[in-house]
Structures are given as structure tokens and as C-alpha cells.
Structure 1
């Protein structure tokens, strides 16, 4: 049974497409308004500057994506994505130690963000009641002041034509610089938020590596050991027998001018990593692209669930609510979990649309809270990080570091850590008595 006639989604990125897939089962008509032109293939989009860097779907995100788009994982694989064993084929240097490598129970799909998003978009286009309108800028909401209700959007297209669309539900999936935030601020509606300044910069190239029979990994990660080390890097095989190489630096540690001078400037950054493994791969590599840059000055969590007079008819999702530190690879998986929560709520036909919206914003808090806490625990290892520190931070950091170090020795602990990191298990899993005992034993006898 369909709930209402029409829903409009602002933004055709990952969150917008996920929302459209969910709404297609409950609304007669779903319209996605995307400001970028229609893509002609799995290529980077201007509206997704982060799209050229290394991306990953965590286990929970990959499972949820398959639930929403049955068969899509096989489409990824059939078109060149790289399927790997998540513990055997990943070489990960973390907090000064290499993680254990063994044949585990989980697999990971390595691919570029445009490749992943292209396949989702093709699925969306096959849905008869979903339409994507490209090159559309949503510039205002249609709003009934007396009812504090949003009833539609005002848009402008590439020919400067202005038109309006009325809808029973508006979903803002336009990201951190969303229309909703600007619109509410202009109306002096207070949006409580948590913000942490990390000054993170990403630099990425696509490369071709020479054949090497001794290369026993598909993705290699060399993370910094805070607080003294601020630069990390990763090299990941993707479709087309290519490799993405991403360097990241906290608190503007990487000199942008030096890295952009030439290809050699990019490679020289690899010498500043805690290990020279990535440099050894790059010194004989062939560059297939220029250097892409993405900056995240702040991570931010806008608490729309706490807005006292949020207009009815408006639902926020994805980065519009929370932009997380992308270094931990959780953003897309958060969006998938939010979409699954939305799907579950929409199946309850005893709720009105507005009750569903309010409950969704509360559900989003439950999804984001543990992930946000994990992320800022790590971000605050750097003294230059600015923001509200959680209670018991030093104890959390001490305990987490022991888990990281034990993951290089104890397969059981590493498995537990992986399940938490990939959002399959709650963080409380790492407080099991046997794990606490191992942490205390390591502390006493190290």
C-alpha cells in the first residue's frame, strides 16, 4: 500500500539514491533533484569532490546495500570490482604495528566511488516511479507560515527557468552545505550542533603499478601513530587493474604546494609515512591521473532531532545531518543504515508522515552516536584538534590503543574489533571480560 502521492529528494548522491530506493516502495512518484549534469559513465562528479579518493563500504553498509538493491554486489564484481578476503588481502599498519593477516569469514569489494554510484544509479533508473532531474538547483522551499509546513520546492535549471514542485514529503540529502541549514538559519531557527576541527586534507592519484608476483595484498594502509605522526596513506586496487593512492594529513600537515608541483612531489609524500611500503610501490608506478584534493576542516553533527520548531514535511538524511571524519570510511555505511531505518519506519502505516519523520531523526541519532564517539576518540589524539571532548576521553583512548595493539597478536580480539569497526557489533563487544582481561594482562606485562 502506497502512503502518499509524491516525494521529492534534494541531492542525487549516495544518500539521495538510497532514500529514493526506499521511497519507491511507498510513494506513487519519487523525484530526485540533482544539481550535476547527467553522468555519461562511472566518472567523478563535480558535486562529489570526495569521490576520487579511496572509498570503502563497511560490512554493514555492503550487506544493507545488497538488501536494498538485490544483485548489485554481483554487478560490481562482474564489471571489474575487486573482491578480497577482508583479513588476508589487507595489509594494515596501525598505531605502530601490522594487523594480523589470515583467511577470515568476510569479504570486501574494492572499487572507485564513481563505479559504485554508477551501478546504484542504473538500478534507480530502472524503477518506474522514480525520476532523476539533472542540472537542477533547489533554491527555496514552498512554505506555509501559519502551519510551519514545507509543501514543496522552488528550483532553477540550467536554462534559468524557475518552477515549483509540490510534494507530500521533502528529503534533504544535499550534504553538509544543505539548503535546509541555510534556510533554517535565515529564519533564525537554532540548530544545535557538535563540531570538531581536524583540518584534514586528502590527496589522491590513480596509478598503474608494474607487475609484481610478490605483491600479496590488494589494499595496503599505513596509518599514523598519533600524536607525533599526522600523515597516513593507502593504496588500493580498483576496477580496470588500476590503483588508487591516497595520502591524508591532519591539521594541514601536508604541504599542498609541494605535492602539486609534479608527480614526483606526490610520490615524495610517501617517504613521510611511518613505513616506506607505499613508496616502494610508487617509485616505479605510472600516473594515470592528476592529483585530486579534498579538504575537511571540520566534522559536524547537526542535531535536527533537537530543533524545537523544525517545519513539518521535511526529513534530513546522510551528510546533511552528519559529516564524519572520512579517514575511517564510515560515511557511506551510515547512509545505508539510515536508509534501512527509514524503510522500517515506512512499513508502519499506523504512523503519519510527520510521526515517521520525527522517529527517523531519533533513529539517526542511535546510528550516529556510537560512530561519532569512536571517531572523535581518535581525532582528539592530536592536541591541535578543537571541539567538545567526551567524558572519560583518556581512558577510552588508552583502552582503544590496547585493542589496536592486541589486533596484531590476538586473532579473537582482532575479529571482535573488525565487527565493531564494520558496524556489525556494538562497541560494548570490546568490553567482554575475556578482552578486558587481555588488555589488563598486556598492560601489566608489556
Structure 2
């Protein structure tokens, strides 16, 4: 089995912990460098401001997480996470219609991101050859310039004390504002990328809802019907018998200063959604938290697979691709990347250079269809800027038909559900039976 001495991971978020779990099987020592303080429980942390908003673990991500951390799904449930039937307990208003609801074959976990991350953190701490250094920042890479090798990192703690840490492999899991991009740019190494400006704002608040026997859902999504509508919202039951509400708006449609004024301002925002369902649920409900905000001005996919990176450097998670969080795919992409990395180390006796180069190509193959799926929807707004995919109009037309048919046809919705949960590829929706249904709707309606 591939066995090297030391791997250093920059960033102790979800993608960093996933990488640590994988590398712990192949390195004698794995060290995570984390800028935040050590967490004291399942609470939001400064380094993950998006943690106070609704998160989703798609089915592919859930299955992958369980394979990496056996038993973690049961730990989620035993500590309060909610298990629902994915197509029965979800009420979803999408592109102007309510999705069909039925007792399907899949279940979904409803929980806050801090709750999920806390359990991953506890698992990581149980791995004997993984350690975490908190309150530390990676200031620079240690690079053997003539050999083009990353040999470690320079770390600075809260008191300003600097330390050099040598490693066989350095993994950058620090996210969209990572050190790597800036480091490469300084060396005039251009990173090709794809970008789209979406001007997205997330506004969230947690409520205590009164019991209601008529409440037949555990999560309700009100999605905007673009391009006319730009605001959507989700209300989801989470651990502790609480309900987390996130309102999102594209292209700066939300007045953030106004939304943060007081509790009434949040209610006024909920009134502006395409349906009043969420407002009706929270208008008399006591809030349990303040209002939090998170911004995603643009989404970016840095195509590191096209760059001749130094030996000993690997990128993962948001460091490679920060995708539109409305579709809930970010965490699951990180899980799929971790699984790809695991398979490479399991099957390969190649050098680290060969493994990292191959990994970045595989990560691109994971991201590409998901990026395309997301960008098709983001470009329904004329204000979205960026390079449009080929055949955009046709793809949008076809997708819109699938969305609308999903309000009536169980087979079509189930197929869409599997695609959106990264279980099946987009080609599933081109099956002759589905294609025939779309054409029939178009020409015979």
C-alpha cells in the first residue's frame, strides 16, 4: 500500500476533513492547519460563515460520507437530525408549479451544517495519525524552485510565531480565497477559469414553530420562476425541533441593510417570495436567532487540471470550484472528490506527482456536468454574466419542460430527482420515454 511520511492539509472545513480521512490510510502522519479556534460543539464558526444557512447533503454525498465515516449517518439521527422521505416530505414549488409528492425510495437527512461538521470533526479526532493545529494560518509555501516541488508550508500562529512544516504532500482545502491562486499568480502562472456573476445573497433565521397537525412536510422550498422572479426561500426542520429559514435573492435584489434591521424586516422579506407559505409559517413564530447574511457575488471554477502545478500540491473542494449554493451540491462534490482521491491511492503505486495530476483531471470530470447543470439555470437571468454554454437555449427549454412535467409525472420527477442528487447522469433525462413525454407536451398541448 502507498505509504508516505507526512501530509499537510490547509483548512479544517468539510473538504479538509474529508481529505484527512482519505490520506490517513496512506500517510504515517496527517496534519490539518486550521485558522479557527477549536470548536466546543455543533455551533457556527467564523471560518464558515455559510454555516448559519440551509445546507443539503445530496444522496451521492450522503452515501459517500457514510463509506468514509462508517456509522456517521446513525450518529446524525441519534443526535437529532431529521430523516424524511425525499419525495413525500418535501414540498417544492419550482418554476411556477408544485412538484408531485409521493412515497419514494429515497430518504434525506435534514440538519444544520454545524451539526454535520461537528460529527465529522469527532470522527477525525478519533483517527490516531491525524492531528489538528488550531489558530494557525499558512502564510506561504516552502518551494524547491529548481525542482518545482512544494516541500511544506510556513505557518504563523496567533502570536505571530512562524514555523516551517515539511511534508510529502500539501492539500489546499482552504476554499475560494485560497493561498494557492495568489501564490501561482505571483509566479505568473495563469489559472484558466470559468466564472458567472450571480449577485446572490443568503438571509437566514431560525424559528420555533407551533405544532400543527396539518403540516404535512418537513422541508418546503419556494423557488423563483426566472427571469421575472429573483427571490426564493426554504424552510426546513432541523435538530432541536427548530426550523431554519433561508431566503435567497439573485442579482442583488435583496436590500441587505434593510433585511438586517429587525425581525419584522425578515418577515417583510418572506412576504416577497413567489408563495406566502413560508411567511404564513413564521409570521407568529418566535425567532431563536438573529438574522445572518452570506454573499456569493460570483461562482468560479478554477481549472487546475490545465496547469502544470508543482509536485506535492493538491487542491480540493471550494478551492477548485465554488458553485451556486442554492442547488445544494457543494458538500457532495467535495465527498465525490474525496472518494476519487481514495481510489487513486488505493490503486496506484505512482508518484505523488502522478496521483495529484490525475486527481485534478478526475475532479474536473466530477465538476463539469454539475457546473453545466447549474449554469443553465443561472443564465435564465439576463443579468448573469459569464461564458454561456453551447446550446443554452435548447438546454433551458428542455430543462424547463422536465421541471413542469415533474409536477404531474412520477417517473419523470423521480428521474430528475436522481440527476439532481448526483445518483444518475444528465443523460438519464434523455431516455426515449422521457424525451417522448417532453415532445408530446410541447407539440400536443
Q: Which secondary structure state, in structure 2, belongs to the residue aligned with residue 402 of structure 1?
A: helix
User: Cα offset for 1:269?
Assistant: 1.0
For residues 253 and 136 of structure 2, the distance between their equivalents in structure 1, rounded to whole angstroms, comes to 37
Shift of 1:2: 4.5
Indicate the residue corresponding to 1:175 in structure 2. 175
The answer to whether the 8 A contact 1:220-1:235 is kept is yes
Aligned equivalents of 2:262, 2:160: Cα separation in 1: 40
Residue 363 (structure 1) aligns with = 362
Point out where structure 1 has 5 or more consecutive residues left out of the alignment: none
Matches within 5 A, 1:123-142: 123-142=123-142
Distance in 1 (alpha carbons) for counterparts of 2:395 and 2:316? 29
Structure 1 residue 298, shift from structure 2 partner: 0.5
Partners of 2:2 and 2:349 within 8 A in 1: no
Q: Mind listing any 5+ residue stretches in structure 2 that lack a counterpart? A: none
Q: Secondary structure at the match of 1:269?
A: helix
Partner of 1:26: 26
Kindly report which structure 2 residues correspond to 1:150-189, keeping only aligned pairs within 5 A, or say none: 150-189=150-189
Runs of 4+ in 1 over 3 A off after TM superposition: none
CA deviations 1:306-342 (Å, max 9, x no partner) are 11x3111100000000000000000000000000000
Output the CA distance in 2 between the equivalents of 1:351 and 1:150.
18
SS at match of 1:275: coil
Equivalence map 1:29-428=2 (5 Å): 29-307=29-307, 309-428=308-427
Q: Report if the CA contact (8 A) 1:3-1:349 is conserved.
A: no
**Partner Cα separation in structure 2 for residue 415 and residue 375 of structure 1:** 19
Q: Equivalents in 2 of 1:274, 1:444: separation in Å?
A: 28
Q: Distance in 1 between matches of 2:443 and 2:270?
A: 36
In structure 2, the residue corresponding to 1:240 is in which secondary structure? coil
In structure 1, the partner of 2:443 is: 444
RMSD between aligned alpha carbons?
Answer: 0.7
Q: Secondary structure at the match of 1:70?
A: coil
Alignment partners' CA distance in 2, 1:271 and 1:229: 13
Alignment check: 8 A CA contact 2:175 2:319 kept: yes
TM-score (norm 2): 0.99
Between 1:90-99 and 1:158-167, the stretch displaced more is: 158-167
Structure 2: distance between partners of 1:430 and 1:88: 21
Contact 2:220/2:235 (8 A) holds in 1? yes
Q: Aligned partners of 2:240 and 2:216: how far apart in 1?
A: 18
Which secondary structure state, in structure 1, belongs to the residue aligned with residue 423 of structure 2?
coil
Give me the whole-angstrom Cα distance separating, in 2, the residues matched to 1:136 and 1:258. 36
Provide the C-alpha distance between the structure 1 equivalents of 2:253 and 2:220, rounded to a whole number of angstroms.
21
Aligned to 2:386, the other structure's residue is in SS state coil
Contact 1:54/1:245 (<8 A) preserved: yes
Task: State the secondary structure of the residue aligned to 2:214.
Answer: coil
Please tell me whether the aligned partners of residues 218 and 237 of structure 1 are also in contact (alpha carbons under 8 angstroms): yes
Contact 2:58 2:332 survives alignment (8 Å): yes
Number of residue pairs matched by the alignment: 445
CA contact (8 A) 1:171 1:316 kept: yes
2:215 and 2:348 mapped to 1: Cα distance? 54
On the 8 A contact 2:2/2:346 being kept in 1, the answer is: no
Check whether the contact 1:234–1:247 (CA below 8 A) recurs between aligned residues.
Answer: yes
3-state DSSP of counterpart to 1:205: strand
**Structure 1: distance between partners of 2:64 and 2:48:** 22
Distance in 1 of aligned mates of 2:161 and 2:2 = 32
In structure 2, distance between residues paired with 1:443 and 1:324? 31
Per the TM alignment, residue 64 of structure 1 is displaced from its structure 2 partner at its CA by 0.2
Deviation by residue 1:328-372 (Cα, 9 ceiling, x = unmatched): 000000000000000000012321111000000000011000000
User: For the residues of structure 1 that align with 2:351 and 2:309, how far apart are their CA atoms?
Assistant: 16
Kindly state the Cα deviation for residue 141 of structure 1 after the two structures are TM-superposed.
0.4
SS in structure 2 at match of 1:139: strand
**For 1:113-145, what per-residue CA distance to the aligned partner results, in whole angstroms no more than 9, with x for missing partners?**
000000000000000000011001000000011
Counterpart of 2:146 in 1: which secondary structure? Answer: helix
Shift of 1:445: 2.4
Could you tell me the TM-score, scaled by structure 1's length?
0.99
- Secondary structure of the structure 2 residue equivalent to 1:170: strand
Instruction: Give the secondary-structure state (helix, strand or coil) at the position aligned to 2:251.
Output: helix
Shift of 1:3: 1.7
